[in-house]
Amino acid sequence: MNNEALVETIGLDAGYGGTVALSDVNFSAAAGQRIALLGPNGGGKTTLIRTLSGELKAIEGSVNLASETGTVPQHDPARDGWPATAADVVLCGTLDSIPWWRRPGRRQRKLASEALAAVGLADHSTTTYGELSGGQKRRVQVASALAGGARILLLDEPFAGLDAVASRRLEDLIERLAQNGSTILIATHDLEQARSWERVLCLNGEQIAFGEPDSVLTRTNLELTFGSDLIEVPGGGLMAPPHHHEDHEH
Amino acid sequence: MIWIVDQLAAPWQSELAARGGLVALLVGAPAAAIGCWVLLRDLPYAAESLAHGMFPGLVAAALIGIPPAIGGLVGLIVAALLIIGAGRIGLAGDTAVAVAITPLLGLGALIALAGTVPPGLGGILFGDVLAANSSDVLLAALLAIVTLITLRLSHWRLLASGLGRAGSSDLLILLLLALATVAAARALGALLAVALIIGPPVAARTLCSRATPMIIVAAVIAAIAAFTGIELSWHAGIAAGPAIALCAILPAALVSIPMPSWSHRGAS
Ligand SMILES: Nc1ncnc2c1ncn2[C@@H]1O[C@H](COP(=O)(O)OP(=O)(O)O)[C@@H](O)[C@H]1O
Ligand SMILES: [Mg+2]
């Protein structure tokens, strides 16, 4: 693996039960980089994230990681009304780092409260998770990943359903975490966002393009990525198709 | 005032009632604690079914003359195997449970009614906590310690399981539930055991928004139910098992009636 890369795939085929859903992914990302994952619904963004996190096994090729990964999944995995506070959720992020018979101790609690502070939610530590807003929940999930020691963060459509203010806060947080040396992969449908980040990875069942935004976000690549779903904006711009309607949260 | 104290103290001067109350406490508090996770993981139907599934085992134990706990345990294992078997032939979830458990309940009744020596059907169905002897106390204390230590050690994994941050812990919950059910069967019988397991957690769920307070409140409600159940049984002259079951369910009914909107379920 090249020296500064925190995450790298070589000839990666990923999918389900031996059926390839996403083929031949080759990219690498260094500390401090934000990588936009662009692709249509069903393009393979979630499949790539689940393979990088180790939840799915690579069918072909390899995944090389220089740190723990932390995932914020596309759909909130918390059960409705589960009796946990924001601080509890973050503390649960440390469980993978201790043996199963040990309870989280002072060290874990310190990591958790630092992580909650890092996402700007120190004031909400005793708030029941279910009572947080959608944006706050995403940030708690990020804190949970940070508390587990992850420097590779995998965010699956974290902006889906967020209003402008909450989106802005999350964008700022992602920028700060990158500046502090994390590598962050973010599935998104927002081309403007992708343009402002360090790398873009276009997926449509296979890897279409990877590199710096200026060289990747060409009309040809976007047409290959989104096909006929690509939306022409009056005045000359292009827009990616919106989320699935099921992604909306309130 | 003194009259009231005398009245309250009266049952506890009887060795039978006092020992029965102790067993109910030792069985009830851990049963309520594990019941909290049963409720949170949406497993109350499995709880009810496990309790009913051990019925034929309890009847057979009474007929053969072996300790009911052993009969109940064998009954539970058979019930679990039947549920797994019903699942294998393609029946889903609750359907598999229903298909496996209903015949077991019937089988238990058949054995009980066909026996030449009546095994005391009332005691098996509704418990006979006043007949508890010192080995029942010992067994209940042992199960209580095992359950509470296991719950304490696995607390954070259980909590994480509902947040998608750990694998499912349902197997552990069902295992502890089986222990609690066997232990509670002595005090409350196959039909009423589930009252101690589910009643206090339902009330505690409404009162607490965090897991640890919920578990403590549920255990305290169960302890209070053991105490008031014995009192009720003594003064009203009704059977102790049903009296304890009633007291274990009553708080759930009380907190549900006045303001259903207190409930944290479904709040998001
Ligand atoms: N659990 C699954 N089992 C089988 N196929 C799946 C599963 N999840 C997704 N797929 C398939 O994998 C492909 C990629 O899906 P996904 O990674 O979820 O896309 P995206 O996240 O970009 O919308 C799709 O064709 C989808 O149908
Ligand atoms: Mg997806």
In whole angstroms, what separates CA B255 from the centre of its chain?
20
Per the listing, tokens 């309890």 go with B58
- In terms of domains, do A158 and A141 share one? no
Instruction: Please answer whether residues A215 and A206 qualify as being in contact, where contact means their C-beta atoms are separated by less than 8 angstroms.
Output: no
The predicted structure's pLDDT at residue A234: 65
A128 and A205 housed in the same domain: no
Beta-strand pair A152-155/A183-187: parallel
What does the pLDDT average to over A194-212? Answer: 96
Stretch among B79-83, B225-229, B247-251 having the lowest mean pLDDT = B79-83
How far apart are alpha carbons A65 and A53 in whole angstroms? 9
Tokens of A33: 């980089």
What are the pLDDT digits (tens) for A47-89? 999 999 999 999 999 999 999 999 999 999 899 889 999 999 9
Per-residue pLDDT reduced to its tens digit, B8-44: 888 888 888 899 899 999 999 999 999 999 999 888 8
What does pLDDT average to over chain A? Answer: 90
Domain co-membership, A236 together with A197:
yes
- Please check the confidence at residue A250 and state whether its pLDDT lies above 70: no
Higher pLDDT, A128 or B175: A128
Same domain as A141, residue A161: no
Query: B170 is in which domain, residue-wise?
Result: 2-255
Q: Considering only CB atoms, which chain A residues are within 8 Å of B163?
A: 77-79, 82, 84, 88-89, 92, 129
* Whether residue A165 is found in the same domain as residue A237: yes
Average pLDDT over residues B164-177: 79
Tell me the one-letter amino acid at B126. F
Q: What is the mean pLDDT of residues B103-122?
A: 72
Verify that A132 and A103 share a domain, yes or no.
yes
Flag whether B166 is in a domain: yes
How much is the mean pLDDT over chain B?
83
A131 and A248 share one domain: no
**A211 and A242, same domain (yes or no):** yes
Answer for the pair A131, A80: CB distance below 8 angstroms, yes or no: no
What pLDDT sits at residue A101?
Answer: 80
State the Cα–Cα distance between residues B36 and A28, nearest whole angstrom.
Answer: 46
Q: How far apart are CA B18 and CA B26, in angstroms?
A: 12
Residue B164 lies in a domain: yes
User: Which CATH number is B15's domain given?
Assistant: 1.10.3470.10
Q: At what angle do helices B15-40 and B134-161 cross, to 10 degrees?
A: 20
- Find the CATH number of the domain harbouring A214: 3.40.50.300
**What confidence category does residue A33 fall into, taking pLDDT thresholds of 50, 70 and 90?**
very high
pLDDT band at A173 (very low <50, low <70, confident <90, very high): very high
Domain-located, residue A73: no
Predicted confidence band at A244 (pLDDT cuts at 50, 70, 90)? Answer: low
User: Looking at this predicted complex, what is its ipTM?
Assistant: 0.84
Answer whether A241 touches B (CB < 8 Å).
no
Q: How many domains does chain A have?
A: 2
Could you give the CA distance from residue A201 to residue B1 in angstroms, rounded to a whole number? 79
Question: Do both A25 and A98 map to the same domain?
Answer: no
CB B50 within 8 A of CB B105: no
- Distance (Å) from CA A158 to ligand 2 centroid: 11
pLDDT at position B188: 79
Residue A228, pLDDT above cutoff 50 = yes
B216 touches chain A (CB under 8 A): no
Q: Classify residue A24 as left (phi > 0), alpha (psi -120 to 50) or beta.
A: left
What is the pLDDT at residue A1? Answer: 56
Query: What is the residue range of A189's domain?
Result: 1-67+149-250
CA dist B214 and B40 (Å) reads 11
pTM (predicted TM-score): 0.83
Residue with tokens 């002259």: B237
Give the three-state DSSP class for A128. strand
pLDDT digits (tens, 9 = 90+) for A119-166: 999 999 999 999 999 999 999 999 999 999 999 999 999 999 899 999
Residue B266: predicted pLDDT: 46
The last residue of a domain, from among A148, A182, A197: A148
Structural domains of chain B, count: 1
Euclidean distance between the first and the last CA atom of chain B, given in angstroms as a whole number: 48
Question: Do A189 and A241 belong to one domain?
Answer: yes
Interface contacts A/B by beta carbons within 8 Å: 73
Q: Contact, B174 vs B130, CB < 8 A?
A: no
Whether residues A131 and A194 fall in one domain: no
Cα-based distances in Å from B8 to B29, B113, B187, B246: 21, 39, 21, 18
* Residue A58, domain member (yes or no): yes
- Distance of CA B229 from the midpoint of ligand 1 (Å): 56
- My answer on whether A59 and A167 are in the same domain is yes
Q: Is residue B120 part of a domain?
A: yes
